[in-house]
Amino acid sequence: MWVGLSRAVRTPSRGDHDSNAAIGAVGPDSLFAGAPEAVVTLLGSDREEAEDLLVIDAGLRTQLGRSGFLDAALFYYEYDDVTTQEPGVPYTIDEPGPLHLIVPVQNDNLASGTARGVEIGSLIRETFPYPISRVGLTPPHEGDSMTDHWGYSQTDLKHYTCYRANWPVVIDGRLDDEAWKLAPPSPRFEDLETPGRPALLDTWAKLLWDDDYLYVGFWCAEPHLRGTQTERDCMICQENDVEVFIAGENAYFEFELNSLGTIMERFYIWQDSYVKGGYDQLAEFDLLAPGIVDTLGGTWSGHAHPRGRRWCFRNWDMPGLMWAVDLQGTLNDDTDVDVGWSAEISFPWTGLTHLADGRSLPPRQDDVWRMDLSRFQWMEEDGRRICPGWAFNSHDVYDSHIPEKFTYIHMSEQEVSTATAMQAVIEEAGE
């Protein structure tokens, strides 16, 4: 239950007081025969006062088990001295140029009002649409025709078996360790928006794990290597990068990496579960800390997830994270043709505690994680700068922030070997 009393004030800006700008015009003869051109001019006023809003509200939130919540609230809004635009007495001028009729419109504070009412809202949903534990694990398989409770198609979601590494994995950016050689590669990435359309440039990923880390490796063919961003946690997506999303029930982690080895980390918590999931009890997720953003997630496409808004923790760093890149070519030099670049990232299991949701760390046989592995590549097309997205699993929309579209990663305690590599080849050939 809550009760709130607040007041908001908007003071006039310098423009409100001093503006003198034409905001429209009416052509000759539009008003009456022989009339001159009329110019509507917005004039500021030093008489304009601050707008004032008083808010009184009270409400109750009730949890409906694990399936949702019910909200009820009473509210009263009182608006005073609301800014208006009042027409003045027209006049004519003939300097410079032909005769003009000036229609002045001046700022003033002639409006007020109140609003009152009742708001009732609820969210009722199923539990997490994909498995989070070993118990009763029945994930959908490729080709299954189904839709989750958010309305996202579950058809052709991809699956990957992540084997245990029985050789050391050295994080140097090169995928030449024995374990990497035997790890099965993903299929060539496909267009983020169009399922089945292969990535324009060859792109694939591999995964391994051991008792300490989850390993992700990328290969990105690129004829002209580019990279400029060097500041950690800057907007890496503004240039070519690879990305990893790891989902939990009520939160997910985003990792971005460019060809210079610069990274960005973001931790997102669904606002409908911030308190329910206990994140409000953890100092590292204090909403008063710097770097917190109220976001819809992926907004470039205009897509909005039905679950709603998220808290984005831009200053959160995963402890123990390691990464490296290796370039096969010359960076930012278009005079030659490059081969591409590779990347290695090791995510410590201890850093995934907030996403485990009852799963063992390190994992056990048949544990399932949901991950998104993707690449974004800026290029020129018909004189326009575009940035197609390619991913292990298409999302049907230009938005990475859809956990229901993440690939199923099946953890296997079987050590990677020639046998597992051959098995992967046979399975790929049979599809």
CATH code for the domain in which residue 184 is found: 2.60.40.1190
Each residue's pLDDT tens digit, 243-280? 999 999 999 999 999 999 999 999 999 999 999 999 99
Name the 3-class secondary structure at 53.
Answer: strand
Q: Are residues 105 and 225 in the same domain?
A: no
Among residues 80, 99, 123, the one where a domain terminates is 123
Same domain? 259 vs 357: yes
Integer Cα distance of 105 and 97 in angstroms: 22
pLDDT at residue 2, rounded to an integer: 62
With a pLDDT cut of 70, the percent of the chain lying above it is 79
Name the domain boundary from 123, 154, 183. Answer: 123
pLDDT at 7: 82
Tell whether the model's pLDDT for residue 32 goes beyond 50.
no
**Same domain for 116 and 133?**
no
List, in order, residues 6 or more apart from 161 with CB less than 8 Å away. 184, 410, 412, 420, 424
pLDDT in tens, 373-415: 999 999 988 888 999 999 999 999 999 999 999 999 999 999 9
pLDDT value of position 33? 47
Domain count of the fold of the chain: 2
Same-domain pairing of 285 and 143:
yes
Same structural domain for residues 172 and 117? no
- Whether 165 and 254 map to the same domain: the answer is yes
Length of the chain: 431
Which structure tokens are listed for 144? 């299954």
72 contact partners, CB below 8 Å, separation of at least 6: 59, 60, 118, 119, 120
Tell whether 58 and 163 lie within a shared domain: no
Name the residue range of residue 289's domain: 126-430
Shared domain for 208 and 220, answered yes or no, is yes
Nearest 10 degrees: Cα torsion 411, 415, 420, 424: 30
Instruction: Judge if 162 and 242 occupy the same domain.
Output: yes
pLDDT mean across residues, the chain: 84
Quick count: other Cβ atoms within 10 Å of Cβ 297? Answer: 21
The reply to whether 130 and 149 lie within a common domain is: yes
Could you tell me if 164 and 116 lie in one domain? Answer: no
3-state percent helix, strand, coil for the chain, nearest multiple of 5? 10, 45, 45
Residue 342 has pLDDT above 90, yes or no: yes
Instruction: Examine the domain organization and report whether 141 and 169 are in the same domain.
Output: yes
Provide the 8-state DSSP code for 384.
E
User: pLDDT above 90 covers what percent of the chain?
Assistant: 54
Handedness of CA 171, 357, 282, 4 (dihedral sign): positive
The pTM for the full model equals: 0.68
Residue-level pLDDT at 72: 80
Structure tokens at 51: 């707008």
Which residue, 322, 320, 326, 318, is CA-closest to 343? 326
Q: In this model, does residue 80 exceed pLDDT 70?
A: yes
pLDDT (0 to 100) of residue 431? 55
Candidates 18, 59, 10, 7; CA nearest to 42 is 18
Out of 123, 148, 169, pick the residue that ends a domain.
123
